[in-house]
Amino acid sequence: MAFKVGLLGLGTVGVGTVEILQNPAQRHPLLQDVVIHKVGVRSLDKSRSITVPTDSLTTDLESIVTDPDIDIVVEVIGGLEPARSLMLKAIEHGKHVVTANKAAIARFGDEIFTAAAEAGVYVLLEAAVGGGIPVIEPLKQSLCANRLNTVIGIINGTTNYILTRMQLEGGDFADILADAQTLGYAEADPTADIDGLDAADKIAILAALSFGGRIKLPDVHCEGIRHVSAVEIAYAEKLGFVIKLLAIARRASETTDQLEVRVHPTLVPKSHPLASVNDVYNAILIEGDPIGQVMFFGRGAGAGPTASAVVSDILNIAALLTIGHGEAKQVDGKPLLDPLLACSHQHYCAIAPMADLVTRFYARFLTKDYPGVIGKLGTCFGDHDVSLESVVQAGMRDGFAEIVVVTHDVREGNFRTALEEIQALPTIATVASVLRVL
Ligand X SMILES: N[C@@H](CC=O)C(=O)O
Ligand Y SMILES: NC(=O)C1=CN([C@@H]2O[C@H](COP(=O)(O)OP(=O)(O)OC[C@H]3O[C@@H](n4cnc5c(N)ncnc54)[C@H](OP(=O)(O)O)[C@@H]3O)[C@@H](O)[C@H]2O)C=CC1
202 an active-site residue?
Answer: yes
Instruction: Pick the binder of ligand Y from 3, 6, 7, 12 (CB under 6 A).
Output: 12
Instruction: Give whichever of 173 and 296 is closer to Na ion, judged by the CB atom.
Output: 296
What is the three-state SS of 15-36? HHHHHHHCCCCCCCHHHHHEEE
Nearest one of 236, 242, 230, 133 to 176, comparing CA atoms: 230
Backbone angles phi, psi at 7, to 5 degrees: -100, 120
Are 391 and 374 contacting, i.e. CB atoms less than 8 angstroms apart?
A: yes
- The alpha helices in 224-344, defined as continuous H runs, are 230-239, 303-322
User: Is residue 184 a contact residue for ligand Y (CB under 6 A)?
Assistant: yes
Of the candidates 202, 238, 244, 334, the residue annotated as catalytic is 202
Q: Is 187 annotated among the ligand-binding residues? A: yes
Contact with ligand Y (CB under 6 A): which of 18, 77, 228, 236? 77
Determine what percent of the chain falls in helix, strand and coil, rounding each to the nearest 5: 40, 30, 35
The CA dihedral of 325, 326, 329, 330, to the nearest 10 degrees, is: 150
Q: Quick check: helix, strand or coil at residue 301?
A: coil
Binding mask 300-319 for ligand X (x = CB under 6 A): xx------------------
Of 46, 147, 227, 368, the one binding ligand Y by CB under 6 A: 46
Site membership for ligand Y, residue 185 (CB under 6 A): yes
Q: Which member of 1, 25, 29, 43 binds ligand Y (CB under 6 A)?
A: 43
* Interacting partner of 158 out of ligand Y, ligand X, Na ion, none (Cβ under 5 to 8 A depending on kind): ligand X
* Rounded Cα distance, 267 and 235, in Å: 10
User: Which of 42/270 has CB closer to ligand Y?
Assistant: 42
| Cβ neighbours around 200 below 10 Å, total | 29
Query: Contacting ligand X (CB under 6 A), which of 67, 198, 287, 402?
Result: 198
Smallest distance, Na ion to C-beta of residue 346, A = 25
Q: Which stretch binds Na ion (CB under 5 A): 37-45, 120-128, 211-219, 339-347?
A: 120-128
Binding part of the chain for ligand Y, among 37-45, 65-73, 107-115, 322-330 by CB under 6 A, reads 37-45
Q: Which of residues 129-148 bind ligand Y (CB under 6 A)?
A: 131
Q: Which of 127, 126, 87, 121 is nearest to 104 (CA)?
A: 87
Longest dimension (CA), the chain: 82
If binding is defined by CB under 6 A, does position 42 make contact with ligand Y?
A: yes
How far, in Å, CA of 407 to CA of 399, rounded?
A: 26
**Residues flagged as binding site for NADPH:** 102
Catalytic residues: 202
Residue ranges in contact with ligand Y by CB under 6 A: 9-14, 40-43, 46, 61, 76-78, 82, 100-101, 127, 131, 184-185, 187-188, 301-302, 306
